[in-house]
Structures are given as structure tokens and as C-alpha cells.
Amino acid sequence: MERLTHRQRAYLSAMEIDVWDPRATAGSIQSATLGDERVREKMSLVSGDDWGDLKRRVAQCARCELHATRTQTVFGVGDEKADWMFVGEAPGAEEDRQGLPFVGRAGRLLTAMIFALGMTRENVYIANVLKCRPPNNRDPMGEEVRQCESYLHLQVSHVQPKIIVALGRFAAQSLVKTTRPISKLRTEVFNYNDTAIPLVVTYHPAYLLRNPLDKRKAWQDLCLAKKVLNTT
């Protein structure tokens, strides 16, 4: 991983994150089973026209009961052909109001984390597993995830990221298809669905605001993701 700039180090210092020298083991990276066939996807690409149609379908979606309580859907934002894709669990109150993911305090922390990697929000793509806000910010329900996850699958198909970062327990368990706790998923490298896209798990920014001591671990996760990206 290249040397951090002074400005990036300042962002990390403001986030109370110690700069970490990534030394991910070869085994953890090899566990992604990328092999010589390191291709981004095996799924069919979603064309530009299909992308516009997908946005309309999400905006009008009534697959689950969340459509009755939302202000609007939250599709996603950023570079539609980004190398990096960040996936959270569901919109919060401010996201529901603005129709954009990660725009509150957690969003500002995510922006700082992305900047510390040497990028801006405009350089990455940000989405959620759920496109509607659960009432009172309650945890997503299994049926809601099942009804909504195909939208995310199509978003990944269109963006074709080189790396996916799952933010938080629900996003991680949905994307990895597991019930293992996030503490057991961190430091490992997975593949998204049946593709060759590597996926790394880290804490949700909202969790980090409540537990600032774990920001250092989150930075380690992001460094691992960058190291995996640089080896593909």
C-alpha cells in the first residue's frame, strides 16, 4: 500500500484512527479464491437502459411492507463504474428524507474513511441492501432483505466493482450469506455471490460513532480491502 499523504493522515488522526501497516496474511487473501480467472463478474451486465429502468422499478417498489412507511426509496450514489463499492444495511431518517445513502453523521464518517483511502465519494459507489427505511430505524427483517436483495445484485452487475466493502453486520450477513457475527467475518476475504468480486467486511460507521475505539479495526479492514484490490 502506498504511503499516506499528510492530509490523509490528518483525516485519520481526526477520526482517532492509528495508521496501520497492512500485513494481511497470504492465506486470508487466497481465501477469496480469485485464482488466475480474476474476472469481475460472471453475471450478465446491466446496460445503461436497464439501469434507468432499475431505478424506476426501485422507486415504485411495493414488494414488502416498507413501501407504506417510506418517504422515498434510496437507490445509491456515486460513480456507476467505480472500482470500490460500499454497501450498508438500510437508509436512516435523513437518508429517507433526502433519498441518498449515508448523508447523516455516519455518512460524514464514511466520507472521511473513503478520503483516507485516497478517494472521494464521487470516486466510489455507495448503496444499501434495503432501499427503504425500516420504521424507527429498527433492524431489517429477513423477508425484507430477501425481497430487496435482487436490486443490489443488479446494481453490482452494472457497476462491476473490483472490491466490495460490506458495512455492518446486516450488510455483511446478507452479502456473505451467513449468520456468523461480524467479529468472525472481519479479516477474511470473501467472494460476492457466485462472482469473483472480492468482498471485505467492516463495521458500520454508525457503530463506529458509538464505539470509537473500533475505528482502528475499521481502518485495518479498509487497508486489507485495498491490499486485495492491488493484488487482483
Whether the pLDDT of residue 154 is over 60: the answer is yes
Q: pLDDT for 81-128, tens place per residue?
A: 999 999 999 999 999 999 999 998 999 999 999 999 999 999 999 999
Residue 43 has pLDDT above 50, yes or no: no
The tens digit of pLDDT for each residue in 156-179 reads: 999 999 999 999 999 999 999 999
Give the confidence band of 131 by pLDDT, cuts at 50, 70, 90: very high
Q: How confident is the model at residue 137 (pLDDT cuts 50, 70, 90)?
A: confident
Average the pLDDT over each of 45-54, 63-72, 140-149, 192-201 and give the range with the smallest value. 45-54
- Predicted confidence band of residue 17 (pLDDT cuts 50, 70, 90): low
220: alpha, beta or left? (left if phi > 0; alpha if psi -120 to 50): alpha
Please tell me the CATH code under which domain 43-231 is placed.
3.40.470.10
Residue 12 pLDDT > 90: no
- Give the largest Cα separation in the chain, rounded: 49
d(CA 56, CA 38): 32
Distance CA 219, CA 203 (A): 10
- Would you say the C-alpha torsion 173, 179, 180, 183 has a positive or negative sign? positive
Relative to beta strand 77-78, strand 125-128 is antiparallel
Task: Give residue 34's pLDDT band: very low, low, confident or very high (50, 70, 90).
Answer: very low
Cα–Cα dist 47/164, whole Å: 20
Please determine, for residue 70, whether its predicted confidence score (pLDDT) is greater than 70. yes
For residue 30, what pLDDT is reported? 40
Q: For residue range 173-227, what is the model confidence (pLDDT) as tens digits?
A: 999 999 999 999 999 999 999 899 999 999 999 999 999 999 999 999 999 999 9
What confidence category does residue 36 fall into, taking pLDDT thresholds of 50, 70 and 90?
A: very low
Determine the distance from the C-alpha atom of residue 94 to the mean position of all C-alpha atoms in its chain, rounded to a whole number.
18
pLDDT of 67 strictly over 70: yes
Vertex 10: Cα angle to 8 and 13 (nearest 5): 115
Structural domain spans, the chain? 43-231
C-alpha to C-alpha distance for 210 and 204, rounded to whole angstroms:
10
Half-sphere exposure of 43 toward its Cβ, with a 13 Å CA cutoff? 20
pLDDT at 16 over 60: no
More confident residue, 180 or 1: 180
Q: Residue 177 has which C-alpha cell?
A: 450469506
Q: Which of 35-39, 109-113, 152-156 has the lowest mean pLDDT?
A: 35-39
Instruction: Return the pLDDT at 41.
Output: 35
pLDDT at 8: 60
- Given a contact cutoff of 8 angstroms between Cβ atoms, the answer to whether 204 and 2 are in contact is no
Strand-pairing partners, residue 85, are 125, 164
